[in-house]
Amino acid sequence: MASNAPHFDFTEVEFADNPEPRCPVVLLLDNSGSMRGEPMRELNLGLRAFRDDLLADPLAAKRCELAVISFGPVRTVSDFVSAADFESLTLLPEGDTPMGSAIERGLDMLRVRKDMYRRNGIAYYRPWVFLVTDGAPTDKWQDAARAVHDGEQARAFAFFAVGVEKADMKVLKQISVREPVKLRGLQFRQMFQWLSSSLRGVSRSTPGTIVPLSPPTGWTDV
Protein backbone atom coordinates (compact mmCIF):
# COMPACT_ATOMS: atom_id res chain seq x y z
CA MET A 1 0.00 0.00 0.00
CA ALA A 2 1.18 3.48 -0.83
CA SER A 3 0.06 5.01 2.43
CA ASN A 4 1.71 4.27 5.77
CA ALA A 5 -1.59 4.50 7.59
CA PRO A 6 -2.44 1.23 9.32
CA HIS A 7 -4.92 -0.78 7.32
CA PHE A 8 -7.81 -2.21 9.25
CA ASP A 9 -9.98 -4.82 7.68
CA PHE A 10 -13.12 -5.33 9.69
CA THR A 11 -14.51 -8.05 7.45
CA GLU A 12 -13.56 -10.78 9.87
CA VAL A 13 -14.92 -8.83 12.84
CA GLU A 14 -18.31 -9.20 11.24
CA PHE A 15 -17.97 -12.98 11.35
CA ALA A 16 -17.73 -12.81 15.14
CA ASP A 17 -20.77 -10.56 15.27
CA ASN A 18 -22.82 -12.64 12.84
CA PRO A 19 -21.72 -16.29 12.95
CA GLU A 20 -24.60 -17.47 10.72
CA PRO A 21 -23.68 -19.80 7.88
CA ARG A 22 -23.22 -17.84 4.67
CA CYS A 23 -24.51 -18.25 1.18
CA PRO A 24 -22.15 -16.31 -1.08
CA VAL A 25 -23.50 -15.03 -4.39
CA VAL A 26 -21.48 -13.40 -7.14
CA LEU A 27 -23.40 -11.30 -9.64
CA LEU A 28 -21.54 -10.80 -12.92
CA LEU A 29 -23.41 -8.01 -14.66
CA ASP A 30 -22.86 -6.77 -18.20
CA ASN A 31 -22.67 -2.98 -18.43
CA SER A 32 -21.31 -2.77 -21.95
CA GLY A 33 -22.41 0.08 -24.22
CA SER A 34 -25.19 -1.98 -25.75
CA MET A 35 -27.00 -2.04 -22.38
CA ARG A 36 -27.53 1.74 -22.71
CA GLY A 37 -31.04 3.02 -22.03
CA GLU A 38 -33.92 0.79 -21.05
CA PRO A 39 -31.90 -2.43 -20.38
CA MET A 40 -29.50 -0.73 -17.97
CA ARG A 41 -32.35 1.07 -16.21
CA GLU A 42 -34.36 -2.13 -15.75
CA LEU A 43 -31.31 -4.06 -14.55
CA ASN A 44 -30.63 -1.40 -11.90
CA LEU A 45 -34.26 -1.43 -10.76
CA GLY A 46 -34.19 -5.22 -10.59
CA LEU A 47 -31.03 -5.14 -8.50
CA ARG A 48 -32.63 -2.77 -6.01
CA ALA A 49 -35.76 -4.93 -5.71
CA PHE A 50 -33.49 -7.96 -5.22
CA ARG A 51 -31.83 -6.36 -2.23
CA ASP A 52 -35.19 -5.36 -0.75
CA ASP A 53 -36.49 -8.92 -1.15
CA LEU A 54 -33.54 -10.37 0.73
CA LEU A 55 -33.77 -7.71 3.44
CA ALA A 56 -37.40 -8.58 4.07
CA ASP A 57 -36.27 -12.04 5.22
CA PRO A 58 -34.23 -11.80 8.45
CA LEU A 59 -32.35 -15.08 7.98
CA ALA A 60 -31.59 -14.45 4.30
CA ALA A 61 -30.43 -10.92 5.15
CA LYS A 62 -27.87 -12.33 7.58
CA ARG A 63 -26.87 -15.34 5.51
CA CYS A 64 -26.74 -14.23 1.88
CA GLU A 65 -23.62 -12.37 0.92
CA LEU A 66 -23.46 -10.50 -2.35
CA ALA A 67 -20.54 -9.47 -4.51
CA VAL A 68 -21.08 -7.55 -7.74
CA ILE A 69 -18.70 -7.41 -10.66
CA SER A 70 -19.61 -5.38 -13.70
CA PHE A 71 -17.94 -6.00 -17.00
CA GLY A 72 -17.40 -3.39 -19.68
CA PRO A 73 -14.62 -3.00 -18.25
CA VAL A 74 -14.22 -5.55 -15.40
CA ARG A 75 -14.79 -3.78 -12.11
CA THR A 76 -15.50 -5.06 -8.60
CA VAL A 77 -18.45 -2.84 -7.84
CA SER A 78 -19.04 -4.43 -4.45
CA ASP A 79 -16.96 -7.03 -2.61
CA PHE A 80 -18.84 -9.56 -0.47
CA VAL A 81 -21.17 -7.99 2.08
CA SER A 82 -24.19 -9.49 3.75
CA ALA A 83 -27.45 -8.48 2.12
CA ALA A 84 -28.20 -6.34 5.16
CA ASP A 85 -25.16 -4.17 4.35
CA PHE A 86 -25.53 -4.22 0.60
CA GLU A 87 -25.83 -0.64 -0.57
CA SER A 88 -27.95 0.10 -3.53
CA LEU A 89 -25.83 0.76 -6.57
CA THR A 90 -26.41 1.99 -10.06
CA LEU A 91 -24.49 0.60 -13.01
CA LEU A 92 -23.76 2.85 -15.98
CA PRO A 93 -23.29 1.59 -19.54
CA GLU A 94 -19.65 1.82 -20.59
CA GLY A 95 -17.44 -0.10 -23.00
CA ASP A 96 -17.02 -3.62 -24.37
CA THR A 97 -17.86 -7.08 -22.97
CA PRO A 98 -14.84 -8.72 -21.26
CA MET A 99 -16.92 -11.65 -19.99
CA GLY A 100 -14.02 -14.09 -19.67
CA SER A 101 -11.99 -11.97 -17.27
CA ALA A 102 -15.14 -11.03 -15.33
CA ILE A 103 -15.84 -14.73 -14.70
CA GLU A 104 -12.23 -15.33 -13.66
CA ARG A 105 -12.34 -12.36 -11.27
CA GLY A 106 -15.59 -13.68 -9.77
CA LEU A 107 -14.22 -17.17 -9.22
CA ASP A 108 -11.07 -15.72 -7.63
CA MET A 109 -13.15 -13.67 -5.22
CA LEU A 110 -15.10 -16.79 -4.29
CA ARG A 111 -11.93 -18.69 -3.49
CA VAL A 112 -10.73 -15.87 -1.24
CA ARG A 113 -14.12 -15.69 0.47
CA LYS A 114 -14.23 -19.43 1.15
CA ASP A 115 -10.76 -19.25 2.70
CA MET A 116 -11.98 -16.45 4.93
CA TYR A 117 -14.99 -18.53 6.03
CA ARG A 118 -12.78 -21.49 6.85
CA ARG A 119 -10.34 -19.35 8.78
CA ASN A 120 -13.17 -17.95 10.88
CA GLY A 121 -15.02 -21.22 11.36
CA ILE A 122 -18.04 -19.94 9.44
CA ALA A 123 -20.15 -22.62 7.76
CA TYR A 124 -21.31 -21.86 4.24
CA TYR A 125 -23.58 -23.05 1.51
CA ARG A 126 -22.57 -23.84 -2.03
CA PRO A 127 -21.87 -20.47 -3.68
CA TRP A 128 -23.81 -19.20 -6.66
CA VAL A 129 -22.39 -17.32 -9.61
CA PHE A 130 -25.00 -15.53 -11.67
CA LEU A 131 -23.97 -14.08 -15.04
CA VAL A 132 -26.15 -11.64 -16.99
CA THR A 133 -25.12 -10.42 -20.46
CA ASP A 134 -26.65 -8.95 -23.59
CA GLY A 135 -23.71 -9.63 -25.87
CA ALA A 136 -20.81 -11.88 -26.73
CA PRO A 137 -17.44 -11.92 -24.97
CA THR A 138 -14.94 -9.47 -26.44
CA ASP A 139 -12.04 -11.17 -24.67
CA LYS A 140 -10.66 -14.71 -24.46
CA TRP A 141 -13.34 -16.69 -22.63
CA GLN A 142 -12.12 -20.29 -23.11
CA ASP A 143 -10.08 -20.35 -19.87
CA ALA A 144 -13.05 -19.00 -17.96
CA ALA A 145 -15.29 -21.65 -19.50
CA ARG A 146 -12.85 -24.34 -18.40
CA ALA A 147 -12.77 -22.89 -14.88
CA VAL A 148 -16.57 -22.94 -14.75
CA HIS A 149 -16.69 -26.56 -15.92
CA ASP A 150 -14.00 -27.61 -13.42
CA GLY A 151 -15.75 -25.78 -10.58
CA GLU A 152 -19.13 -27.33 -11.34
CA GLN A 153 -17.49 -30.75 -11.55
CA ALA A 154 -15.89 -30.24 -8.14
CA ARG A 155 -19.16 -28.82 -6.77
CA ALA A 156 -17.23 -25.67 -5.85
CA PHE A 157 -20.15 -23.45 -6.95
CA ALA A 158 -23.27 -23.39 -9.09
CA PHE A 159 -23.00 -21.22 -12.21
CA PHE A 160 -26.05 -19.73 -13.93
CA ALA A 161 -26.07 -17.69 -17.15
CA VAL A 162 -28.82 -15.42 -18.41
CA GLY A 163 -28.82 -13.94 -21.91
CA VAL A 164 -30.57 -10.66 -22.62
CA GLU A 165 -31.92 -9.63 -26.04
CA LYS A 166 -29.19 -10.30 -28.63
CA ALA A 167 -26.88 -12.22 -26.27
CA ASP A 168 -24.77 -14.93 -27.90
CA MET A 169 -26.53 -17.95 -26.44
CA LYS A 170 -24.14 -20.35 -28.23
CA VAL A 171 -21.13 -19.04 -26.32
CA LEU A 172 -23.10 -19.00 -23.06
CA LYS A 173 -23.88 -22.67 -23.64
CA GLN A 174 -20.20 -23.41 -23.92
CA ILE A 175 -19.40 -21.49 -20.75
CA SER A 176 -22.20 -22.69 -18.49
CA VAL A 177 -22.70 -26.35 -17.62
CA ARG A 178 -26.30 -25.58 -16.68
CA GLU A 179 -28.49 -24.67 -19.64
CA PRO A 180 -28.33 -20.86 -20.01
CA VAL A 181 -31.70 -19.12 -20.09
CA LYS A 182 -32.90 -16.26 -22.27
CA LEU A 183 -34.51 -13.36 -20.46
CA ARG A 184 -37.99 -12.55 -21.70
CA GLY A 185 -37.93 -8.93 -22.80
CA LEU A 186 -36.34 -6.90 -20.04
CA GLN A 187 -37.93 -8.72 -17.12
CA PHE A 188 -34.96 -8.23 -14.82
CA ARG A 189 -37.23 -7.69 -11.85
CA GLN A 190 -38.89 -11.07 -12.29
CA MET A 191 -35.46 -12.64 -12.76
CA PHE A 192 -34.14 -11.16 -9.52
CA GLN A 193 -37.34 -12.17 -7.75
CA TRP A 194 -36.69 -15.76 -8.76
CA LEU A 195 -33.08 -15.44 -7.60
CA SER A 196 -34.01 -14.04 -4.19
CA SER A 197 -36.69 -16.62 -3.53
CA SER A 198 -34.30 -19.41 -4.57
CA LEU A 199 -31.62 -17.99 -2.29
CA ARG A 200 -34.04 -17.74 0.59
CA GLY A 201 -34.69 -21.44 0.11
CA VAL A 202 -31.00 -22.29 0.08
CA SER A 203 -30.08 -20.02 2.97
CA ARG A 204 -32.57 -21.65 5.33
CA SER A 205 -31.90 -25.22 4.29
CA THR A 206 -30.60 -27.56 6.95
CA PRO A 207 -28.28 -30.53 6.61
CA GLY A 208 -29.52 -33.18 4.26
CA THR A 209 -31.87 -30.85 2.47
CA ILE A 210 -31.57 -30.89 -1.27
CA VAL A 211 -33.02 -27.53 -2.17
CA PRO A 212 -35.37 -27.88 -5.11
CA LEU A 213 -34.93 -24.91 -7.44
CA SER A 214 -38.20 -23.72 -8.84
CA PRO A 215 -37.88 -23.68 -12.62
CA PRO A 216 -37.00 -20.22 -13.96
CA THR A 217 -40.40 -19.66 -15.52
CA GLY A 218 -42.23 -16.40 -16.08
CA TRP A 219 -39.17 -14.41 -17.03
CA THR A 220 -37.47 -16.62 -19.61
CA ASP A 221 -37.99 -17.28 -23.30
CA VAL A 222 -37.66 -20.72 -24.78
Q: Out of 36, 92, 123, 142, which residue is the one contacting another protein (CB under 8 A)?
A: 123
Grouping H, G, I as helix, E, B as strand and the rest as coil, residue 113 is helix
Stretch that binds another protein, among 2-10, 33-41, 86-94, 197-205 (CB under 8 A): 197-205
Q: Rounded to 5, what percent of the chain is helix, strand, coil?
A: 40, 20, 40
Q: Out of 124, 136, 182, 193, which residue is the one contacting another protein (CB under 8 A)?
A: 124
| Residues in contact with 189: Cβ distance below 8 Å, sequence separation at least 6, in sequence order | 42, 45, 46, 49
Binding of another protein by 20 (CB under 8 A): yes
Binding of another protein by 59 (CB under 8 A): yes
Kindly calculate the radius of gyration of the chain based on its CA atoms and give it in whole angstroms. Answer: 17
Beta strands 220-221; 64-71: pairing state: unpaired
**31 contacts 71 by C-beta, under 8 angstroms:** yes
Q: Out of 126, 140, 166, 178, which residue is the one contacting another protein (CB under 8 A)?
A: 126
**49 contacts 151 by C-beta, under 8 angstroms:** no
Q: Out of 11, 142, 209, 214, which residue is the one contacting another protein (CB under 8 A)?
A: 209
- Shortest Cβ 155–another protein spacing (Å): 8
State which residue, 78 or 120, has the beta carbon closest to another protein: 120
Stretch that binds another protein, among 31-39, 90-98, 100-108, 115-123 (CB under 8 A): 115-123
